[in-house]
Amino acid sequence: MFDLDGTLVRGDTLRAYVFGYLVRRPWRLPLLLAVIPATLRFLARRDHGALKAAFIRATLGGQTRTALAAWTARFVARVVRRGLFRDARARLERHRRYGDVLVLLSASPDLYVPAIGAALGFTQVVCTGLKWEGERLDGHLTTPNRRGEEKVRCLEQLKAEHPRQQFAAYGNAASDLPHLRMADRPLLVNGSRRARAAARRYGVPQATWR
């Protein structure tokens, strides 16, 4: 079970996806100003899901499936070609050779995560869902934001779907530690100072992937 941002892929894929789309449509860049109220609310409430939905609605809301699908294809090809950590790709291939079930578990949205999962040969993808109105993106979340304790719930469901199986789990953030601690073989990779300190307290092994 692999996290995406900072674990398999360098950096934040949602920001890269959105800004990559906007720079090709610079007249939409002022729409970023609409995210300011949500950012201020986030500072008070720390609701990552609400901030994510506001960011997506402000920048991509109303865009068509056709336009976003075309950008997704370009974006995913670039991520798979140049964005993966070399060590992450090697670990993924090792699990594939062993015949393991490969699960991509990410808080990033289903605009592009399933396409990344398909390109990398994942068996199953679990990510944050977005609402559409017909052919146009609405941007509200249709699932819980797949972060923190929500990943714990997802792992519990996966364990129920795959009973008597051992789970290896990879993540990079302090928010990944709750579900990493549930895995049989957890690994924190490329963690921040806070994440590394927490991992040491919990006895979660660590590594640096390049």
Residue 4 maps to a domain: no
Quote the pTM value: 0.94
45 found inside a domain: yes
Backbone angles phi, psi at 47, to 5 degrees: -95, 95
In a domain, 151, yes or no: yes
For residue 5, tell me if it sits in a domain.
no
What pLDDT, on the 0 to 100 scale, is given for residue 93? 96
20-68 tens-digit pLDDT: 999 999 988 888 888 988 888 888 888 899 999 999 999 999 999 999 9
What is the CATH number for 78? Answer: 3.40.50.1000
Tens-digit pLDDT profile for the chain (210 aa)? 999 999 999 999 999 999 999 999 998 888 888 898 888 888 888 889 999 999 999 999 999 999 999 999 999 999 999 999 999 999 999 999 999 999 999 999 999 999 999 999 999 999 999 999 999 999 999 999 999 999 999 999 999 999 999 999 999 999 999 999 999 999 999 999 999 999 999 999 999 999
Residue 8 falls within a domain, yes or no?
Answer: no
For residue 175, the one-letter residue type is S
Structural domain including 49 reads 13-207
Q: What DSSP letter does each residue of 45-81 carry, written as one string?
A: H--HHHHHHHHHHHHHTT-BHHHHHHHHHHHHHHIII
Let me know if residue 23 belongs to a domain: yes
N-terminal to C-terminal alpha carbon distance within the chain? 19
Q: What's the burial of 15, exposed, middle or buried (CB within 10 Å: 0-12/13-18/19+)? A: exposed
* 107 inside domain: yes
| 120-129 contact pairs (CB < 8 A, 24+) | 120/8, 120/80, 120/92, 121/96, 122/2, 124/158, 126/154, 126/158, 127/4, 128/49, 128/52
Number of domains in the chain: 1
| 3 part of a folded domain | no
Cα 182 to Cα 148, 177, 187, distances in angstroms? 13, 9, 11
Pairing of β 185-189 and β 206-207: parallel
Helices 48-60 and 13-23 cross at an angle (nearest 10°) of 20
